[in-house]
Amino acid sequence: MNRAASTRARFIGGAAAGFASIAIVRSPARAAEYTFKWGHATQLNHPLHVNAVRVKNAVFARSRGRLAIELFPNNSLGGDPAMLAQARSGAIQLYSGYGGIFSSVAPSAGIEGVGFAFKSQAQALAAFDGPLGAYVRREMDSKGFITFEKPWVNGFRQITTSTKPIRTVNDMEGLKIRTPPSKIWVDMFKELGASPTPIAASEMYVALQTHVVDAQENPFTILETYRLFEVQKYVSVTNHMWSNFWSVANADAFHALPPDLQTILREEMSAKAISNRREMELSNASLAEKMGRVYGMRINIVETLPFRAKLKPFYAKEKADFGPEAWGLLEKSVGTLS
218-227 mean pLDDT: 95
200-214 mean pLDDT: 96
237-259 mean pLDDT: 97
What CA–CA distance (Å, rounded) separates 247 from 97? 7
Is residue 11 predicted with pLDDT exceeding 70?
Answer: no
Run of H or E residues at 234: strand 234-237
150-174 mean pLDDT: 97
Domains of the chain: 3-153+244-290 (3.40.190.170), 158-241+292-334 (3.40.190.170)
Q: Name, in order, each residue with C-beta under 8 angstroms of 305's C-beta and a sequence gap of 6 or more.
A: none
232-247 mean pLDDT: 97
9-31 mean pLDDT: 42
Contact 39, 83 (CB under 8 A): yes
What CA–CA distance (Å, rounded) separates 311 from 196? 15
Q: Which residue has the higher pLDDT, 209 or 15?
A: 209
Reduced to 3 states, what is the DSSP secondary structure of residue 70?
Answer: strand
Confidence of residue 31 (pLDDT cuts 50, 70, 90): confident
Is residue 19 predicted with pLDDT exceeding 80?
Answer: no
What's the pLDDT tens digit per position in 82-112?
Answer: 999 999 999 999 999 999 999 999 999 999 9
What are the residue ranges of helices labelled H in the chain? 3-23, 47-62, 80-89, 99-102, 121-129, 131-141, 183-191, 204-209, 220-225, 251-255, 259-293, 305-310, 312-322, 324-334
111-140 mean pLDDT: 97
250-272 mean pLDDT: 98
Q: What is the mean pLDDT of the chain?
A: 91
Given this model, what pLDDT does residue 338 score?
83
Q: Which residue has the higher pLDDT, 268 or 338?
A: 268
Is residue 120 predicted with pLDDT exceeding 70?
Answer: yes
Given this model, what pLDDT does residue 174 score?
98
Confidence of residue 30 (pLDDT cuts 50, 70, 90): low
293-313 mean pLDDT: 97
Q: Is 308 exposed, middle or buried (0-12, 13-18, 19+ CB in 10 A)?
A: middle
Given this model, what pLDDT does residue 16 score?
38
The structure's pTM equals 0.87
Looking at the chain, the whole-number percentage of residues with pLDDT higher than 70 is 91
